[in-house]
Chains A and B, each alone.
Chain A
Amino acid sequence: MALPQAKQDLTEARLAGLERPDGAGWAVAARDAAVARLRETGLPHRRDEYWKFTRPETLTDAQAPSAALFDTGDEAPIFETLDCVRIVFVDGVFDPEASDDLALEGVTIERLAEAQHTDIHWARDLYGALEERGQVPVPRTLAALNTAMASDGVLIRVTGAASKPVNLVYNHRSESSDAILHHVVKLEEGAELTVLENGPAAARFNKVMEIDVADRAGFQHVRTQGRDHERRAATHIFARLGQESVFKSFTMTANGVLTRNECVIELTGDDAVAHVAGACMGDGDFHHDDTVFITHDAERCESRQVFKKVLRNGAAGVFQGKILVKEGAQKTDGYQISQSLLLDEDSQFLAKPELEIYADDVACSHGSTSGAIDEEALFYLRARGVPKSIATDLLTLAFLAEAVEEIEDEALRDEIVTRLEGWLSRRRG
């Protein structure tokens, strides 16, 4: 079927506004293929079923809407005190001064902008490959656009257990920045790595992270997206999991006029484990969309999706979560919960949980709820002398706790809880 003219126009307009980075054979081929994928399906349009709850215009327009910079006051960047290899991007541009040496034992770290000029590179089999697999059955063409046009990113290959995390920091200093970054992470058999991400990134940010987790390897991901009010972001995680491997990703988001976080995971080896969780809170014109697609294509795998949203003053939250269990993926254990805490009647939460199962011996469950603060609990706390605003914060934190508890590492979990408490008390003013 021919692409509708409107889609074709917006896709071409967006492509015309971008400069294709040059490179060597493998990178050029990957980018060419991505452009072809993009032209075949076109960028998302608001009539697309997959974009029913989130309007994509400002993510697809040729010109990025500007976003005022946000002063975080005396709040230090999260993860700053942790021992990490820190890699800093400012409005999508690598900042060598602020970044550490890209050196870590058992890990090779390179920039895409440099590696794409080498003739032979391990990333050639991965760059854009997991993204391409993720286009079926639902197109995710913002990710194809990313593969085609990403200006930079990091390529990380892990052969052992990394002694410390890699921290990707995204600073936002220009009101009109439009950044596209593409990261590739390859964990060899038995390897382990933690990737931390934080920062508002740009006025508009398109980011893809492809993660190949080999047999018995472990990947942990913790990211925060905050606190600029006007920033926009479309992010994609594409992960493929080998036998007995473990993948855990947690995202905390505060503010942001538009965020769409997609996570596409394929469990291809038996006994693999994938947990994806998110906690977000927003006010006013905040719109946050978590779209998750987990495919079970092996036996005895476990997947968990835990998403919590705190919304007030007309904020909107979206959750689209799917568990697809393929034929033969017996003993699958799939769990999905999405909940919202609506602090007033103007806010809304839209959820579309889906299960599609082609195996007969599986345990899958999903649930979705929207609710207000528990008045009984609120009164109990107040009757003991806790002021209403603090009591509301305590109950808000308690609501988010189930998602935060998905972070396995205690030090990282504490960092997140401390930050959440700080954000709540700042909001209280």
Chain B
Amino acid sequence: MLEINNLHVDLEEEEKTILKGVNLSVEAGKVHAIMGPNGSGKSTLSYVLSGRDGYKVTEGTATLEGEDILGMEPEERAAAGLFMAFQYPVEIPGVGNMTFMRTALNAQRKARGQEEMSAADFLKLVREKAKDLKIDADMLKRPVNMGFSGGEKKRNEILQMAMLEPRMCILDETDSGLDVDAMKLVAEGVNGLRDAGRGFLVITHYQRLLNHIEPDVVHIMSDGRIIKSGGPELAIEVEENGYRDIKAEVA
């Protein structure tokens, strides 16, 4: 599904290398988790994959089902099936949440050569999906993320994911700023989307999210590289001993 080979990335504005040769392969139907200390390059990886400005790929490749995504515009990546749930979802005054989601959904369908979804069908679908995430009608009507609590913003991200049905989902520190109940709700939303055709990359600082979204593979990232990969037990090891032991072990 998602193949990353020897990815090197610099910051565009300053002479600084963030990713120093990342190798990662996420198969369809699997959940991979990336854990790592602050500044290890986890979020940069998600930004680079989703196409945010400010980064320069100096070496390596990233493909989604064989297609090079690094040369694509952000909207092309989305239409190709890539979705990133933002760590900090953006508030957009003046743009209604529903208008936003319908515009996004239909733009993706159009890019894929599919027919646009009618207003009635869209409304039915969004109401159904919103209900599962306990998103009320008022949140749908308001401008995008305006006045939403931290938990509401993250639930809104998952709602978009459910509406857009991407093939590859990246969750960037989706647990940050969430209390246990909100985290459970978000995790249920994600788990509901797990299926054989979809891959997940869950980026997180703490192990606690992984109690709710159980990963198949856990990677430890440090200083711009993946330094160790393993099963879910690796996350528990980090939780108990911190990153220091693993760093020492591979050094």
A residues sitting closer than 8 Å to B (CB atoms) are 374-377, 379-388, 390-391, 394-395, 397-399, 401-402
Contacts and interface: CB of A to CB of B under 8 A. Distances in A.
B78 A382 contact: yes
B174 interface: no
13 contacts: A375-B53, A381-B92, A383-B50, A383-B52, A383-B74, A383-B78, A384-B100, A384-B101, A385-B105, A388-B73, A394-B95, A398-B95, A401-B94
B94 A382 contact: no
Contacts of B86: 380, 383
B107 to A, nearest CB: 5
B92 A386 contact: no
B107 A385 contact: yes
Interface string B98-138: 01110111011001000000000000000000000000000
A307 to B, nearest CB: 16
Contacts of A377: 90, 92, 95
B224 to A, nearest CB: 23
B93 interface: yes
Given A379-B53, A380-B89, A386 B94 contact: no
A401 B111 CA distance: 28
User: B interface, by DSSP: helix, strand, loop or mixed?
Assistant: helix
A379 B84 CA distance: 12
Contacts of B75: 382-383, 385-388, 391
A1 B75 CA distance: 65
A379 B93 contact: no
A136 to B, nearest CB: 39
B95 A395 contact: yes
Contacts of A397: 94-95
Q: Which 8 A-B pairs have the closest CB atoms?
A: A398-B94, A385-B78, A384-B104, A385-B108, A382-B74, A380-B90, A401-B94, A382-B75
Contacts of A395: 92, 94-95
B51 A380 contact: no
B26 interface: no
B204 interface: no
B79 to A, nearest CB: 5
B222 interface: no
Contacts of B143: 398
B90 A390 contact: no
Given A381-B100, A382-B73, A384-B164, 5 more contacts: A383-B84, A385-B111, A387-B73, A390-B103, A399-B94
Contacts of A401: 94
A385 B80 CA distance: 9
Nearest to B99: A394
A402 B94 CA distance: 8
B44 interface: no
Given A385-B79, A394-B103, A379 B92 contact: no
Contacts of A374: 92
Contacts of A381: 92, 95, 100, 103-104
Nearest to A376: B90
Given A395-B95, A398-B93, A401-B94, A386 B104 contact: yes
Contacts of B94: 395, 397-399, 401-402
B104 A385 contact: yes
A387 B107 contact: yes
Nearest to A394: B95
Interface string B54-96: 0000000000000000000111011100001010011011110
Contact of B51 (A383, A387, A394): A383
Given A383-B51, A384-B78, A385-B78, A390 B107 contact: yes
A375 B74 CA distance: 13
- Tell me which of A377, A383, A401, A402 has the highest count of chain B C-beta atoms within 10 A of its own C-beta: A383
Nearest to A399: B94
B95 A379 contact: no
A385 B84 CA distance: 11
